[in-house]
Amino acid sequence: MSTDAIVLLKEDHKEIRRLFKAFQDAEDGPAGARGKIVTQILEALTVHTYLENEVMYPEVRKLVPDVEDDILESYEEHHVADVLCFELFTMDADDERYVAKTTVLIENVLHHVEEEEQEWFPKVREALGRNQLQEIGQRMLDLRPKAPTTPTEPKALKKARDAVVA
Ligand SMILES: [Fe+2]
Ligand SMILES: [Fe+2]
């Protein structure tokens, strides 16, 4: 199995896109089923965002100064998604704003993932060697079991709080 950081993050993106599709298929159905998919979306996003925030982004910022602006924009996009995830986590699936909020979350995340995959991951791949990317990926694999899985855990909230207070 590859430990290349970009390969790993793209695998996460693929799973996140699959969950988004599942939500869109279920959004007009029973609230329970909809809520279950959103719970899975929130878990996938919480883990993925944590690994990017803790490992990928700071590492890339240090090693590839060329993409610094992309990283700063990405932190802000994560922050917006964090707020929406937090709100959804505390809402009932039959709330009248639930589907609308999830739809806005999906639109935001798809835009963000697109920018990662199309705009700056390719620059990172060009700038860093295979070994460096495998090392970064290995660090994310090691950290994954310790990642928060719900948006309200202190570890998950830390970056959102830093973004507001710092
Ligand atoms: Fe991201
Ligand atoms: Fe990502």
Give, for all 166 residues of the chain, the pLDDT tens digit: 789 999 999 999 999 999 999 999 999 999 999 999 999 999 999 999 999 999 999 999 999 999 999 999 999 999 999 999 999 999 999 999 999 999 999 999 999 999 999 999 999 999 999 999 999 999 999 999 999 999 999 898 877 667 666 5
pLDDT of residue 157: 82
Q: End-to-end alpha-carbon separation of the chain, Å?
A: 39
pLDDT computed for residue 70 by the predictor: 96
Query: 97 C-alpha vs ligand 2 centroid, how far in Å?
Result: 26
Q: From the CA of 75, which ligand is nearest? A: 1
* Ion ligand 1 residue ranges (Cβ < 5 Å): 52
- Distance of alpha carbon 67 from alpha carbon 38, whole angstroms: 32
DSSP result, 136-156: HHHHHHHHGGGS--STTSHHH
**Burial (CB count within 10 angstroms: exposed 0-12, middle 13-18, buried 19+), residue 85:** buried
Q: What is the rounded distance in angstroms from the CA atom of residue 99 to the CA atom of residue 77?
A: 20
Please give the pLDDT value at position 163.
63
Count Cα neighbours of 36 within 13 Å in the Cβ-side half-sphere: 7
The predicted model scores a pTM of 0.95
Instruction: Identify the residue whose tokens are 């855990």.
Output: 153
Ligand 2 centroid to Cα of residue 116, in Å, is 6
